Structure formats: structure tokens, C-alpha cells
Amino acid sequence: MKPVVFKEISKIWNPISVGDKLNEIDLELEIEIHKKLLNIFQVEDYYYFILNLKNLETEFISKEIEAVLGYKASDMNLTSLLGKIHPEDHPWFLNIENKVVEFLSQLSIEQIPNYKIRYDYRIKKSDGTYIRILQQVVTLQYSETGGVLKSLGVHTDISHLKIEGKPVLSFIGLNGEPSYIDVDIKKVFDTSSGFLSDRELQILSLLIDGKETKEIATTLFISPATVSTHRKNLLAKTKARNTAEMIVMAITKGWV
């Protein structure tokens, strides 16, 4: 059974995976060049894969996945990979890919192969633990109408560099194209943690904006006493020592 995230990502990718007539690229040569570059510049544990966006399949997964995640390459495909993403990161993954499609759709055909898409999220290993991987993707094959048909992806274990926090998306320009770092991600899919109520999320957002209890009460048309009760509940649920710590946690963990 395909995970929900597979169904959603297939909808997101559909606009950029159309087109039949290929742009003339020596695909085998491209892959060999990328593989050599990976071996030279990747200093941490990694594995790579080739994704066919038109068929929504992985055409190849390197054997290094076993050293990184503990799974055999022959047992893995796109569906199983997506199913290993941490549940809390599913909406982040979908929101980011939604932004990626929006970005790629604005590029000219010549610009498409000149961008590397980079972001991070958590993925489950065979022993049940999670690591944070940095996903980097470049286009390998595209149609004459600008549809992305095949891409090369690399997953690098960056757990020692980043343990917590929300994923960060960047578009890295190649061959003279400009780069866009820490791109704003539109929240089409809800990224809230689920353990906070809608009202608590509203109050938390206003606290992040620097609002005091009375200002929050006026904004939400509730009493200051009610706001104070919600603030106490928020501290208890988040296990933060004070409001400042709770605000930092909310921002870094992407609760709002």
C-alpha cells in the first residue's frame, strides 16, 4: 500500500513531469560524471539514486544505502523511501516539493539543468532510529517543453551537524546562475506538531510576534485570564522553562 505522502507528491510533481520529446543529453555520460563528482566531493556517508518523475519510480539506488540506512538497494524503491520519512516531516517534504515545482516552472529550459535543489529532513533506518539527511537533486533529463523527466538525488547523513529544527530549502545556482538560500516555504500542508490546539497555535504565533497577554486577548477577543491559562498549558505541553525558550523551540521545530 502506497503511503499518503506518495499520493500527494505524485500530484505535486505532475505539472513538471510532462513532455515526451527529450532534450538531447547523453544520459549515461551525465550519470558517470555526477558519480565521479560524488566520490570526490562527498565526505560523509551518502547514497544516490536516479528518479523517473514521469513514471514515479526509482530507476537506480546505489549500494551505499545499506551503509547509511541499513536497507539493501534491491529492496528499496520510491514508495519505500517516501515511507521512511519521519511522519512529522511529511508536510515539510510536501511543502518543499510544492515550492520546488513552483521554482522550476519559472525557469527557462536552459536554466533547468543549472540548479541543484537542496533541503533536509529525517528518515528512518532499518533499526528503527532516525537520522537527518541532506537531499540534493539535479536534473538529468528534461523535455523540450521544460518537463523534468529524470533527476539524480543524493542523500547525505548530516545528523552530526543538525539534530533538530525545521528543514531548510535552498536552490543552488550552477554555471553562473544565482543561488537562493533558506527559501521561504509556503505551508500548503499543515506543519504543526499536532499536540497543540488551534487556539494554542494562534497564541504561540502572537507570542512570537512579541504580543503581550492583553494584546493577545484583544486580538483574539478573549479574556486576559484565558490567555494566561493557555500560556501555562503551552509551557506544560512544550516542557519549556519559560516563554522565551518556548518561542525558540516553536521557531526551530517549525510548530507555527
Residue indicated by cell numbers 527529450 = 22
pLDDT per residue over 83-108, tens digit each? 899 888 888 999 999 999 999 999 99
* CA separation for the pair 147, 87 (Å, rounded): 29
Q: Which residues, at least 6 apart from 14, have a Cβ–Cβ distance to it below 8 Å?
A: none
d(CA 96, CA 88): 14
Structure-model confidence comparison of residues 251 and 150, the more confident one: 150
- Is the predicted pLDDT of residue 174 greater than 80, yes or no? yes
Calpha distance 256→245 (Å, rounded): 15
- Distance (Å, rounded) from C-alpha 157 to C-alpha 135? 9
How far the first Cα of the chain sits from its last, in Å, is: 31
Closest CA to 56 of 25, 79, 30, 83: 79
Domains delineated in the chain: 4-173 (3.30.450.20), 198-253 (1.10.10.10)
pLDDT tens digit string along 47-72?
999 999 888 899 999 999 999 999 99
175 touches 107 (CB < 8 A): no
Q: Which residue has the higher pLDDT, 62 or 164?
A: 62
DSSP 119-179: EEEEEE-TTS-EEEEEEEEEEEEEBTTS-EEEEEEEEEE-TTT-SSS----EEEE-TTPPP
Per-residue model confidence as pLDDT tens digits over 233-250: 999 988 889 998 888 888
Tell me which residue of 130, 129, 132 sits closest to 121, measured CA to CA: 132
Question: Model's pTM, two decimal places?
Answer: 0.73
Per-residue pLDDT at 122 exceeds 80: yes
| DSSP per-residue codes, 218-248 | HHHT--HHHHHHHHHHHHHHHT-SSHHHHHH
Q: Which residue has the higher pLDDT, 34 or 17?
A: 17
Q: What percent of the chain has pLDDT over 70?
A: 87
pLDDT of 156 > 70? The answer is: yes
- Identify the pLDDT of residue 54: 84
Q: What is the pLDDT of residue 40?
A: 46
CB atoms within 10 A of CB 234: 20
Which of the pair, 91 or 254, is modelled with greater confidence? 91
Answer whether residue 130 shows pLDDT above 90: yes
Q: Is the pLDDT of residue 119 over 60?
A: yes
Per-residue pLDDT tens for 209-236?
899 999 999 999 999 999 999 999 999 9
Residue 3: the pLDDT is 67
